[in-house]
A and B are shown apart, each in its own frame.
Chain A
Amino acid sequence: MTWNYSKKTTELFMAAVSGQPGTHLGEIEDADGFGEHGSIACGDALRFTFRVDRHAEDPKLDRITEARYLTFGCTSAIAASEALCAIIEEGDFTPIDALQITNQDIVDYLDGLPQAKIHCSVMGAEALEAAVFNWAQKRGVDLVELGIDISHDEQEEGRLVCTCFGLTEPYIKRKIEELELESIADISNAIKAGGACMSCHHTPGGLQDLLDQVNGSKPTTMKGLPILPMARAPKAQPPIEMSPFKFAKKVEEIIEGYIRPQLARDAGDIELIDIKDMKVYCTMKGACANCMGSQNTIKMLVEQALKDQIDQRIQVIEV
């Protein structure tokens, strides 16, 4: 997968990382609007702040004069953050007008983004929205009165569909509608849902079901599960005269009472790892761990002692 970023994306990224004047890196202290989106666990995160020129009488006429970002993310995430700030500063928007800016505007500003990177532009639009809601709260502007739906401002409650990125059913459905997503690939590209473990693609109530619910369903056929040949039973094990529990106790007893004291004379030690049927797995410790003869010790001392005192079929395996 080679880079296929536009020239504009590359330029914005390189300008940002080299700290050229005119870029929008940073965080405004006591910002009028503050919004975040994403998290470090998800692989990208954006902190977006803006300052307004406050209107003396009507806060709705505030003008955004300055926008800044801090971004953890890839080349396109950083370029999209730059684009967002540039669009806002160039447009002389009121915060309410700024809500009209969509992820598509960011994509257009960048002269396009690769399909798999669309979520970087969505992240910008989401952080902007959060910041505007934050501004409205601070300035006492009632967005609902203006006919703006802020119901999804609060962390959208609902059934978790994509557990990898923590995205809920109402959020995903809203995004399918808003961004006109038509396939599971579209969803992953835009909002990342279903892009990691992929287990939510076709489960009941999963992404395909949500697409069907929003876009109208297409008939699907459920193929039957393949019929697999039955595994042949493993070959019968030789019978052990005692129960596995008693056998294990006995092995431990002999290691504790007989083998360990012997090894201790040479500053060595042994640890019992596991027992499977007649096979006893041990690790040599202390001086024995690095001893060239540890294999011999295992065979001559440990295995022989267990054979003599429990069963001749016992085999000791060094781990």
Chain B
Amino acid sequence: MTDTIYLDNNATTCVAPEVFEALTPFLIDEYYNPSSLYDPAHGPAEAITASRKQVARLLGKARPDEILFTSCATESNNTAVFGTIAANPDRRHIVTTGVEHPAIFSVGEDLQRRGFEVSFVPVDTDGQIDRVEFVRALRSDTLLVSIMHANNETGVIYPVEELSRITKETEPSIIFHTDATQTVGKLPIDLRGSFKNVDLLSFSGHKLHAPKGIGALFIRRGTRCRPFLLGGHQEGGRRAGTENVAFIVGLAKALELAMENHDEDEARIQAMRDRLESELVERIPYLEVNGKNAPRLSNTLNVACHFIEGEGILFQLSAEGICASSGSACTSGSLEPSHVLRAMHIPFSAIHGSVRFSLSRYTTDEEIDKVIEVFPGIVNNLRRLSPYWDVKKNEPRPEAMEMLTQTERPQ
């Protein structure tokens, strides 16, 4: 096995050395419970306070008491949904999209089964939200609107600023939540400015080089939201459970690092992503870039290779030491391809052949070179085996051509 080339940073990231250094003292030396009264517990308690201030400041001068530390973004999302439902029992309508992360999408499906009305706003073939459908879905008695800031699979960015404004202009009492897991530390988030209409915002640490097991939820003052976890006075009584001091410190440090060199890092990452994209498009026929015409995160590239299956691509990439992911059925644990790609009506000749590369500030040009070098061959290997591909002409067989536009199952 060669050295690992890690291009799956939308799944998780490595812990930055600076973050590791900042958090370890709270595992070994300052391990005390921050709720305890004796002197040694002061340090951990102070560290949490400082971290909370730091996180609040870096998200556009939010108030520290508006930041809640949780265990992960999934917990933050569940708290946002179930907390607002519990606090607003007279409302039963929720608006979200068909492309949310499962931590919102599956919760929405579950709520439907429990008798809530949930509107899943559709997206277009570039994965961008249909604004007209969004407006139609809004009602004066809507309880919650939950729309992600950027999509984890395609990197498509949603106009949260605009959508939250339209929501509040429709009815100020509608609560607006955004899952910003993929964007905190990457895109500007100003909770006092452009995000002033956002009431709830979720994110996690492990997407920005903090450890797994730490997340946060911004709850704007005055937002009606009940606690999700009961059993203690921590986090102002809004999230019970002993605070994960070390990881809270790590999260604050990671956010600081992300902001510190943000512009430089982003330009470099985007240049590498763009190069990867244009080289693959040039070298591989019948390759689609998913979300091509929508604004996208600069670190994400989701391509779909017609007439082959993504799992076989990942397996060969893995043999080259390259880590990426796919929305194909064989990699999802379910037997269905990704709900995000289906919502975008990607033709089924391509939907099973999607591969996502997601870069980080630790990605190097050499690593991108390697992918550009091996990926076309990998695609070719599988196309030689495919019953839909004409190897000699290097194009789909004539009878398979019509599949290029079919998006619904023939049933």
Chain A residues at the B interface, C-beta cutoff of 8 Å: 1, 3, 13-14, 16-19, 25, 27, 36, 39-41, 43-47, 69-75, 77-78, 116-117, 160, 163-166, 188, 192, 195-197, 226, 228-229, 231-232, 234, 237, 273-274, 276-277, 279, 281, 283, 315, 317-319
The 10 A-B pairs with the shortest beta carbon distances in the complex, nearest first, are A195-B335, A74-B311, A74-B330, A232-B90, A70-B387, A234-B141, A17-B381, A196-B336, A43-B329, A47-B387
Q: Which of B131, B310, B330, B334 has the most CB of A within 10 A?
A: B330
B84-130 contacts to A (CB < 8 Å): 89-92, 114-115
B residues near A166, Cβ cutoff 8 Å:
409-411
Known: A73-B309, A279-B169. A43 touches B315 (CB 8 A): no
CB distance from A77 to the nearest CB of B (A): 7
Instruction: Assess the B311–A41 pair: CB atoms within 8 A.
Output: no
A75 x B311 contact (CB < 8 A): yes
Residues of B near any A CB (own CB < 8 A): 89-92, 114-115, 131-132, 134-136, 138-141, 162, 166, 169-170, 307-312, 315-316, 318-319, 328-331, 333-337, 348-349, 352, 378, 381-382, 384-388, 400, 403, 406, 409-411
How far, in Å, is A290 (CB) from chain B's closest CB? 14
Contacts of A39 in B (CB 8 A): 410
- With A14-B319, A195-B336 known as contacts, the answer to whether A41 contacts B410 (CB < 8 A) is yes
Supply 7 A–B pairs (Cβ within 8 Å), ascending by A.
A69-B385, A72-B307, A74-B310, A74-B315, A164-B409, A166-B410, A283-B131
Known: A43-B352, A274-B132, A317-B170. A17 touches B336 (CB 8 A): no
B116 to chain A, nearest CB (A): 9
- Distance to closest chain A CB from B247 (angstroms): 24
CA distance A120 to B93 in the complex (A): 42
Chain B contacts of A273 at CB under 8 A? 131-132, 135
- A69, A116, A166, A317, most chain B CB atoms within 10 A: A317
Add 4 more A-B contacts to A70-B386, A234-B141, A279-B170 (CB < 8 A): A13-B312, A71-B386, A273-B132, A281-B166
The residues of A that contact B312 with a CB separation of less than 8 Å are: 13, 17, 73-75, 78
Using Cβ atoms and an 8 Å threshold, which residues of chain A touch B385? 16-17, 25, 69-72, 78
Main secondary structure of the interface of A (DSSP, over half): mixed
Min CB–CB distance B243 → chain A (angstroms) = 32
Is B335's CB under 8 angstroms from A196's CB? yes
Q: Which residues of A contact B169 (CB under 8 A)?
A: 279, 315, 317
Nearest-CB distance from A167 to chain B (Å)?
10
Check B381–A43 contact: CB distance below 8 A. Answer: no
Q: Are A74 and B328 in contact (CB under 8 A)?
A: yes
Q: Tell me, rounded to whole Å, the shortest Cβ–Cβ distance linking B297 to chain A.
A: 23
Give Cα A193 to B312, complex, Å. 22
> B166 touching A228 by the CB < 8 A rule?
no
Contact, CB under 8 Å: A319 / B140: no
Give CA–CA (A8, B279) in the complex, Å: 34
Q: Which of B92, B114, B140 contacts A237 (CB 8 A)?
A: B140
In the assembled complex, how far is the CB of residue B287 from the closest CB belonging to chain A, in whole angstroms?
Answer: 16
Q: How far is the CB of A15 from chain B (nearest CB, A)?
A: 11
User: CA A319 – CA B162 in complex, angstroms?
Assistant: 8
- Inter-chain CB contacts under 8 Å: number: 145
A169 to B381: give the CA distance in the assembly, Å.
37
Bound-state Cα–Cα, A166 to B411, Å: 7
A73 touches B409 (CB 8 A): no
Contact yes or no, A234 B331, CB < 8 A: no
Smallest beta-carbon distance B45→chain A, Å: 39
Least CB distance from A244 to B in Å reads: 14
- From A16, A27, A46, A160, contact of B411 by CB (8 A): A160
Q: Which residue of B lies closest to A16 (CB)?
A: B385
Report the bound CA distance from A19 to B308 in whole Å. Answer: 16
Residue of B nearest to A17 (CB): B381
Minimum CB–CB distance from A27 to chain B (whole Å) comes to 8
* Given A71-B386, A72-B386: A3 and B135 interface contact (C-beta under 8 Å): no
Chain A residue with Cβ nearest B335: A195
- By a CB distance below 8 angstroms, the chain B residues around A318 are 166
Q: Given A195-B336, A196-B334, decide whether A41 and B135 contact each other with a Cβ distance below 8 A.
A: no
Residues of chain A with a CB closer than 8 A to B328's CB: 43, 74
B282 to chain A, nearest CB (A): 23
A195 to B403 alpha-carbon distance, docked (Å): 23
Chain B, residue nearest A282 (CB): B135
Which chain A residues lie closer than 8 Å to B170 at the CB level?
A: 276, 279, 317
Write out the residue numbers on chain B whose beta carbons fall within 8 Å of the beta carbon of A3: 315, 318
Separation of A315 and B136 alpha carbons in the complex (Å) = 16
A231 to B117, CA, bound (A): 11
How far does the Cβ of A280 sit from chain B's closest Cβ, in whole Å? 11
The answer to whether B387 touches A1 (Cβ under 8 A) is no
Bound Cα distance A79, B381 (Å): 14
Contact A72 B388 (CB under 8 A): yes
Contacts of B308 in A (CB 8 A): 72
| A195 adjacent to B166 (CB under 8 Å) | no
Task: Select from chain A the residue with minimum beta-carbon distance to B326.
Answer: A74
Q: Which residues of A contact B138 (CB under 8 A)?
A: 276
Q: What B residues does A165 contact at CB under 8 A?
A: 335
Bound form: Cα–Cα A283–B349 in Å: 35
**Which chain B residue lies CB-closest to A47?**
B387
- B1 to nearest A CB, angstroms? 13
Given contacts A281-B135, A319-B131, contact A43 B337 (CB under 8 A): yes
Determine the residue in chain A with the shortest Cβ distance to B353: A72
Contact partners of B333 in chain A: CB under 8 A: 1, 116
Q: Are A163 and B411 in touch, CB under 8 angstroms? A: yes
Q: Which of B141, B166, B309, B318 has the most CB of A within 10 A?
A: B309
Q: Is the CB of A234 within 8 A of B140?
A: yes
- Name the A residues within 8 Å of B135 (CB-CB): 273-274, 281, 317, 319
